[in-house]
Amino acid sequence: MTDLDHARASLSSLPEEARLYLRPTGLGCVPAHDPSAVRRLAGGMAWFGLVHIIARVGRQRRVSVVAPVGEVEALIDGLPAAHRERAGMQWRNLLKPRPALDMGHGKMLSFDRPAVMGILNVTPDSFSDGGKHVDAQVAAETAWAMMKAGAAIIDVGAESTRPGAKPVWEGDEIERMRLLLERLAHQPVPWSADTRKAAVMRYALGQGVGIINDVSALTYDPEAVKVVASSGIPVVLMHHQGDPQTMQVSPAYDDALLDVYDWLEARIDACEAAGIARGKIILDPGIGFGKTVRHNLEILNGLSLFHALGCPILLGVSRKRFIAALSREEPATERLPGSLAIAVQGAAQGVQMFRVHDVPETVQALKVWQGMQDAALMPPGM
C-alpha cells in the first residue's frame, strides 16, 4: 500500500465527531521543472506543494498525512460526507486571493505582498516603548517617519496590554489618542486603533480610523462587536487566553496550534452572525498572549494553517519576550534580529501583515525576501 493509499484509507473512515484541518506545507517557489506541482497560497507570494491533513478526535490528533497538492481534491472527494464540505471550504480558502481593504485617505491595503503595520504606543507603560511617545508631538513625528519608511498603516495604542498591565479608563485612552491625532490632522496618515473598548472605537471612527485592532477579538466589551458591525470598518481579531493581568500564569492547551485555530474560527462565526463580513476580518494568532515559549513556537511553525480560515493573517512578534528566551535574555530594545528572523519566516508561510516597532528594518527585510521570490519565478538565464 502506498502512502497515498494509506492516507485515503485513514481519511475515508473518519468518525463524524472528528475535526479536519488542512495546512499548506512544502512552501517555497515555483519549481522550474514542474510549475503544476505547486499552488499559490492565498494570492500572495508564497507557494506550496504539499498539504498536511490533520484530523482530531477530542483532544488527540488521530490522522496526520501529507499529500501533494495535485492529490488533495481527490482525497477530499473520498472523505465521509460529514467532512467533505468543511475540507472543501478550507481548500478553497487556501487558494483564493484576499481582497484589498479600504483604509481611508485614498489608501488601500493590498494583501498580494507583505505589508507592515507600525506600532505607536502613546502609553507610559508598554513593554518595549512605554513612555517614549507620551509627548504628542514626538509621537506624530514618529508616525510620519514610519510612513515614509514604508509602513502601510500606523497602529495607535493608548492602553498597554503587556503581561501584568492594568486596564485604563476609556476617557484617558481617548485623550491620549486625541493629542496625537490632532497633530496628524494635516498629514493624513492611515491608522488603526489598538483598543478593546467600544467607546474608544466610536471615538476612533469619528477620527477616520482605518482598522480596529482588538486584542480581545471583540470579547472584552459587549458593545464592541455592534460598533464594528455597524461601521463596516475592518477589524483584527486576536487570539488570547486570559486577560493581560493573568494571561501568562500557567497557560495551557491540548494542542496549541489547533486550539488557537478553533478559537479563531469560532470568533469569525460569532462576528459574521453579528453582521461583520468575513472579508473585513484579519486574524492574529496572538503570539505571547497567554502562551509559553513552546506554545509560541508550535503556532509559529504552523502559521500556514490559519490561511484555511479564509482571512488575511497579521503577525505581531516584534521584540517579544520569547525572542530573548531563545537567545541570551536580551532586553526588548535589543531584539531586532530575532524579530526580523521571525518576520521573514512568517512571510515564507504567507503571512500578509506584520505589526512591528522597527519599520525601516522590517520593510527592508521583507523587500529583500520579495525580490528573491520574484527572481525565483524567472527562468534561469533571464
Q: What are the residue numbers of the active site?
A: 320, 355
Neighbouring C-beta atoms of residue 2, cutoff 10 Å: 7
- Residue 124: phi, psi to the nearest 5? -85, -10
Q: Residue ranges of the alpha helices (H) in 330-358?
A: 336-348
Choose among 321, 325, 323, 322: nearest CA to 340. Answer: 323
- The separation between CA 82 and the C-alpha centre of its own chain, rounded to angstroms, equals 29
Q: Which amino acid is at 138?
A: V
Residues 37 and 69 sit within 8 Å (Cβ to Cβ): yes
Which is it for the CA torsion 270, 272, 274, 277, positive or negative?
A: positive
Written as one string, the DSSP assignment of 260-311 is HHHHHHHHHHHHHHTT--GGGEEEE--TTSS--HHHHHHHHHTGGGGGGGSS
Helix (H) or strand (E) holding 26: strand 19-28
Q: Residue ranges of the alpha helices (H) in 15-163?
A: 69-77, 81-95, 136-148
Q: Which amino acid is at 167?
A: P
SS3 category, 235: strand
Residues 80 and 87 sit within 8 Å (Cβ to Cβ): no
Query: Grid coordinates in use for 14?
Result: 473518519
- Residue 117: phi, psi to the nearest 5? -105, 120
Choose among 197, 218, 198, 213: nearest CA to 271. Answer: 218
Tell me, what DSSP letter sits at residue 100?
P
Choose among 351, 340, 347: nearest CA to 370. Answer: 347
Q: How far is CA 1 from CA 7, 8, 34, 271, in A?
A: 10, 11, 26, 45
